[in-house]
Copies of this chain bind each other. A is one copy, B any other.
Amino acid sequence: LKEYGKFAVLDRPKDSFRIKEHLLPEPDPGTMLLKVEMCGVCGTDVHYWKGHEPILKFPFPVLFGHEVVGKVVAIGEGVETDMLGNPVKIGDRIVPVPLVTCGKCYYCTIIREPIKCLNAQAYGHLGEDKPFTGGYSQYLYLSIPNTVFFKTDLPPEVAVFTEPLSIAVNAVERVKVNLGDEVVIQGSGPIGLMALICAIEAGASKTIVVGGPERRLKLAEEFGADETINIYEIKDPQERVRMVKEKTLGGFGAAVAFECAGVPEAVPEGIDYLRFFGRYCEAGNFSIAGKVQINPCTHICAKCAKIVGAWSSLPDHFVKSLKILEKGKYHVERLISHRLPLERLDDAFKALSTDYKIDGVEAVKVVIAP
């Protein structure tokens, strides 16, 4: 072949991305090479870029990008189907699961929670010595042993949401949204809106999105949010708590709240939204962004609260995510505010860590279409 492809490398936090050209790999047995169609810019990548301490460790220089959709350009020996038994061939559209687990460690076999696999590796979290393993790239080389991927016929601007939606699927499973629950979502960014979709799908009788700015809340309403509270207008958290309670059955508070804002301060406010025996899902602080004060009595003990953490996602969450997207009820593609070439990655990261404006337009979801 002897073809070349480009990918982005980040040498250190807050730096510019460096675009590198590299010879494309000839797929080894059990691997596959994708031509990247689209890769979403994840808020966690932005946290990493700012220098927040990551949970899933990675080396610098690093190849970021894990919300990928691409087409098969070369298949290694022995790869015949995806995990659901669908045959794969050159030209098929593929969504890979970024987190790859070992299936053999203490968390994989004894605790049976592979999301915390001790030997986990992930696309978008490897070093420059593993070319084409990040999604901010023209190609993605599915070369980590045990990589799981799914074939899909969804258009790329929908399929690119499989990974973020899978995060929300995991969150909903962890906190168990039940038929008839009144649910609050804190945060109206991509993860918040994915949690909204999952809460609706799981049978919430009412959904309330607390976030902003306006454009995002409009999207929330389009997706089916029953109520929104704009934090740029209602600046007092206690007033927001009052408003949420007023909107719930009997004024007692919500059954479930999701933290998808990614700021520590959201936690006590979100727990205050809940009725007694309410459940709270912390699904936004994926990297270490600081601490916050809580009251063990009123937030946990006497509240009889249940607070769960949801982090990352697994192949089963991808299956469920794809099934939701295939229903076609949610126009997730409308979240994409910017579709940028690889060369404009820096614009994306700068905007998403400052004023959320790119080319004068407010960013919601930015995707790289290399």
Contacts and interface: CB of A to CB of B under 8 A. Distances in A.
Interface stretch (A34-42, A153-161, A173-181, A350-358): A173-181
A282 B301 contact: yes
Interface stretch (A87-95, A125-133, A315-323): A315-323
A105 B280 CA distance: 24
Nearest to A302: B55
A19 to B, nearest CB: 31
Contact of A309 (B84, B300, B315): B300
Contacts of A331: none
A256 to B, nearest CB: 13
Interface in A63-122: 83-85, 103-104, 106-116
A324 B180 CA distance: 8
Given A173-B178, A295-B290, A309 B319 contact: no
Contacts of A361: none
A114 B108 CA distance: 11
A322 to B, nearest CB: 9
A292 interface: yes
A104 to B, nearest CB: 7
Contact of A324 (B205, B266, B289, B319): B205
Q: How many monomers of this chain does the complex have?
A: 4
Contact of A103 (B85, B108, B250): B108
A291 interface: yes
Contacts of A307: 300, 305-308
Interface string A145-165: 010100000000000000000
Nearest to A85: B250
Interface residues of A, number: 82
A365 interface: no
B302 A291 contact: no
Nearest to A276: B116
Given A282-B296, A289-B296, 17 more contacts: A55-B297, A83-B106, A85-B106, A106-B250, A111-B277, A180-B324, A202-B203, A205-B323, A282-B300, A283-B301, A284-B301, A286-B302, A292-B296, A293-B293, A302-B311, A303-B311, A307-B307
Interface of A: 55, 83-85, 103-104, 106-116, 146, 148, 169, 172-174, 177-180, 198, 201-203, 205-206, 249-252, 259, 264, 266-267, 275-277, 282-311, 314-316, 319-320, 323-324, 327
Q: Which 8 pairs from chain A and chain B are nearest by CB? A: A103-B103, A180-B320, A205-B323, A282-B300, A300-B309, A116-B276, A285-B296, A285-B297
